[in-house]
Amino acid sequence: MRITGAQVFDPEQGFVSRDLCVEHGTITGEAEGTVSAQGCWVIPGLTDLHFHGCRGEDFSDATPEGLQVMADYELSRGITQICPAGMTLGEEQLIRICQNAAAHRARGAGGAELVGINLEGPFLSYAKKGAQNAAFLHAPDVAMLHRLQTAAQGLVKLVTLAPEEPGALEFIRGAQAENITVSLGHTTADYDTAAAAYRAGARQATHLFNAMPPFTHREPGVVGAAFDCPQARAELISDGVHIHPAVVRAVFQLFGRDRVILVSDSLRATGMPDGRYPFGGQTIEVKGNRATMADDPNTLAGSVSDLMSCMCTAVSFGIPLADAVMAAAVNPAKALGIYDRVGSLDIGKEANAAVLNEDLSLRAVLFHGQVVHGAL
């Protein structure tokens, strides 16, 4: 299949006018059969490395059926790779979550490809737990992390850590031995503590600005420490609720398009009507695009926007489309170590792509070279 007439994303040049050729599930230089995507944008399939659920299901429920619903919905939105996030729960439930994900991947189930697991808890600060369940908070524990990675059959790719907790630096070294990236978040850490964690090997910041001290001129905190570590990437929830548009623009200027990772942090209420929903043993309330704790309406509890919507919202805030695609497709794939096969539209990579209309509405989704949603 040769897709013609579109502006095709290129990591170096932005968007270029060229054909996109697909054969046998792979991006190629030549192909038979032509379809027109005149006036459209063609971008790589997105990778969400931090989301909890959608369509009434949550990764932390650890059910095969729920994970399948999530994978199917994400794929329908042009998110072709997923790394769902667990919550702060007891070790037995975290083990079940990891086992469920490993079994899902082993089955070769349909929907978006599950490329990893993100452990957002339980190694967090009580003071910055946010919507996480305090009853299950746990000190950094390398042995526990190893047990979870064993249950996941190596699928754990990310773990959030409050670096001020005792044993944090040892934990970072232990995570590196398990090939797990440490992301700083849900933390009260000051600049020096966070900088020490980045020097020890932490390489990401969990939903920058949220659940961490503010970035100020005398106390730059985690934000400043992440900026000062050239290898660190920063997650950003651009749903229009968690981060002010001016701050989204400032983060892209501060960190650069190569170091920002757009994430959705989406909850089970994503794609569902307003109402109350269970969340990690607690209850959240959803009104419009805002989700808060039912017993504390001032505490945000994640988003109800998928990553494609977050990417488009970033564009509406003034982020160039090419930069937003970098942050939603290229950078998360690099962070998870899968950029050699997905995340761009280079020849030889898997033919996972989204075709957007001129107004950025989703026209079609290609997965392994097949149109699985929409039409061309």
Instruction: Enumerate the known binding-site residues.
Output: 120, 131, 186, 207, 210-211, 218, 242, 300-302
Nearest to 235 by CA among 262, 210, 255, 212: 262
Are the beta carbons of 97 and 59 closer than 8 angstroms?
Answer: yes
What amino acid is encoded at 118 in this protein?
N
Phi-psi region of 273 (alpha: psi -120 to 50; beta: other; left: phi over 0): beta
How distant is the alpha carbon of residue 278 from its chain centre? 21
Tell me the pairing of strands 2-4 and 34-36: parallel
- The whole-angstrom separation of Cα 223 and Cα 40 is 36
Place of tokens 């981060």: 243
First to last CA, the chain: 11
DSSP reduced 3-state for 328:
helix
Cβ burial of 158 (10 Å; 0-12, 13-18, 19+) is buried
Phi, psi of 43 (to 5 degrees): -125, 160
How distant is the alpha carbon of residue 90 from its chain centre? 23
Which of 48, 265, 306, 323 does the annotation list as catalytic? Answer: 265
> Could you give the maximum distance between any two Cα atoms of the chain, in Å?
61
User: Is 265 a known active-site residue?
Assistant: yes
Residues linked to residue 26 through DSSP beta bridges, in sequence order: 23, 350
- The whole-angstrom separation of Cα 246 and Cα 260 is 15
DSSP assignment string, 77-111: TTEEEE--EE-S--HHHHHHHHHHHHHHHHHT-SS
Binding-site positions for Zn(2+): 120, 186, 207
Place of tokens 């064993």: 150
DSSP reduced 3-state for 261:
strand
Binding-site positions for substrate: 131, 210-211, 218, 242, 300-302
Cβ contacts of residue 46 below 8 Å, gap of 6+? 78, 79, 80, 81, 307, 308, 311, 328, 329, 332, 354
Q: What are the residue numbers of the active site? A: 265
